[in-house]
Amino acid sequence: MGTETIYIEDAYKHRQANEELGKLFTSWGYLPVETPVFDFFDIYQEFIPVEKDIYRLIDREGDLLMLRSDITLFLAKQMGLSLKDTDLPVRVCYSGTILRHQNREDISKNEFFQTGVELIGKEGKNADLEILMLLHSTFKSLEIKPIVHIGSRKLLDASISDFKEFDKKEILNMISYRDFEKLKNMLVKNVDKKRVNFLIDLFQFIGNKEELNTFIKSSGGLINSRESTALNDLINIMDSLTQLGAGNSFIIDLSEVGNQPYYTGIVFQGYIEGVDSAVVSGGRYDDLLGEFGFPAPSVGFSLLLRKIEDQLGKKFSLPDQENITDQDFISGFKKAEKIRKDGRIAIL
């Protein structure tokens, strides 16, 4: 499956990076799984943010199918069907292509390579930290320095819990695209003005934990208790990340509410200089597997590997190659073996 052609040097880089990550994930106890490339559309329909971005097809019986658009989603169904309580927690990793329509002229741009991990059956801060630190190690082993913006779906759910009528997908969209003018116009119908202004400031917030603490203090009594719990959870996570020496890779960004409808806890996206969109996204989704018959709290991330391959250094590039010109095969062969031992390429 796929529409993109990757040529020699790039294909090598891609494979090296993918193998490096596979080794890293395995050393943390995350073992590989494969998901189907297509499945029945109706199973996933309610979890798809934008339906027209999905490639759909009709099988011979007339059933509507979809091509894999998100590995986490396909994995959740698979896990939901096959896991037992005694299996938990489960740590899995995956890498494969996904297809989403991106409104571009070239169809090969609609394909992405997603590689990632899921920690299934473990809730709470420690599991969140494990995933965030594994992400940090992922950056280290790829020798890249993205910055990860962490927000909280739990915070959003706390903020909108007393709204009467609203379209959650629309709110998610407005906040993640930082369309606060539109959000304000919508909120004034639901809540009093003071609280509207507070919510607008809240979801605009980007900064470190000191800055968040200052914001919380200055907001008076406008924070409800569920919001306060969600914010404290974030601050605690940031504290631990700093203690673990990873503080510089993370920043609190409350407009990160997650582009997938299934998130329930922390949500994050990572950005890197020179790349035009987020390279990694993830978060906690405690209710998704339950939708497929097996409730289990989960957290994970997925990296769009192709987006960062231009940024990868020499460690991932094709080694130098040398042509052996000896007429005598035996002496040439011996020379070649020596060169290969040094990690270079020898061509007979």
Partner 1 sequence: MSLNSSEPLSLALPKGRLMEDVSNFFEQKGLNFSFDNRKLVSYDKSGRLKIFLVKNSDLPTYVNHGIAGLGICGSDVLYESGYKFFNLMTFEFGGTSMCIAGMKGHKKNDNERKLSVATKFTKFTSDYFHKQGIPVEIIKLNGSVELAPVLGLTPYIVDLVETGSTLKANNLEVLEKLEDIKVHLIVNPAYYKLHYKSIKKIVSILQKK
Q: Which residues contact 249 (CB under 8 A, 6 or more apart)?
A: 136, 139, 145, 146, 147, 148, 241
In the beta sheet, which residues pair with residue 94?
A: 116
Interface pick for partner 1 out of 227, 233, 253, 309 (rule CB under 8 A): 253
Residue 273 binds partner 1 (CB under 8 A): yes
Q: Are 302 and 92 in contact (CB under 8 A)?
A: no
Residue 181 binds partner 1 (CB under 8 A): yes
Q: Based on CB atoms, which residue is closest to partner 1, 121 or 146?
A: 146
d(CA 77, CA 120): 12
Q: Which stretch binds partner 1 (CB under 8 A): 71-79, 221-229, 271-279, 288-296?
A: 271-279
- Residue 289 C-beta: closest distance to partner 1, Å: 30
Residue 215 binds partner 1 (CB under 8 A): no
Which residue in 259, 286, 272 sits closest to 70, CA to CA?
Answer: 259
3-state secondary structure of 99: strand
Q: Residue 178 corresponds to which tokens in the numbers above?
A: 């930082």
Which residue in 221, 325, 48 sits closest to 336, CA to CA?
Answer: 325
Residue 288 binds partner 1 (CB under 8 A): no
Q: Based on CB atoms, which residue is closest to partner 1, 159 or 269?
A: 269
Interface pick for partner 1 out of 23, 56, 140, 178 (rule CB under 8 A): 178
d(CA 99, CA 109): 9
Which residue in 131, 36, 141 sits closest to 89, CA to CA?
Answer: 131
- Residue 177 C-beta: closest distance to partner 1, Å: 6
Residue 147 binds partner 1 (CB under 8 A): yes
Q: Based on CB atoms, which residue is closest to partner 1, 147 or 235?
A: 147
Q: Based on CB atoms, which residue is closest to partner 1, 62 or 274?
A: 274
Please give the helix or strand (H or E) that residue 133 lies within, else none. helix 125-142
d(CA 149, CA 270): 6
Binding residues with partner 1: total (CB under 8 A): 18
Residue 328 binds partner 1 (CB under 8 A): no
Q: Based on CB atoms, which residue is closest to partner 1, 206 or 339?
A: 206
Residues 78-137 that bind partner 1 (CB under 8 A): 103
Residue 200 binds partner 1 (CB under 8 A): no
Task: Give me the sign of the Cα torsion angle 72, 74, 77, 81.
Answer: negative
Phi, psi of 98 (to 5 degrees): -130, 155
- Residue 249 C-beta: closest distance to partner 1, Å: 13
Q: Are 125 and 239 in contact (CB under 8 A)?
A: no
- Residue 149 C-beta: closest distance to partner 1, Å: 6
Q: Based on CB atoms, which residue is closest to partner 1, 219 or 259?
A: 259
- Residue 179 C-beta: closest distance to partner 1, Å: 6
Interacting residue ranges for partner 1, rule: CB under 8 A:
103, 147, 149, 177-179, 181, 206, 253, 269, 271-278
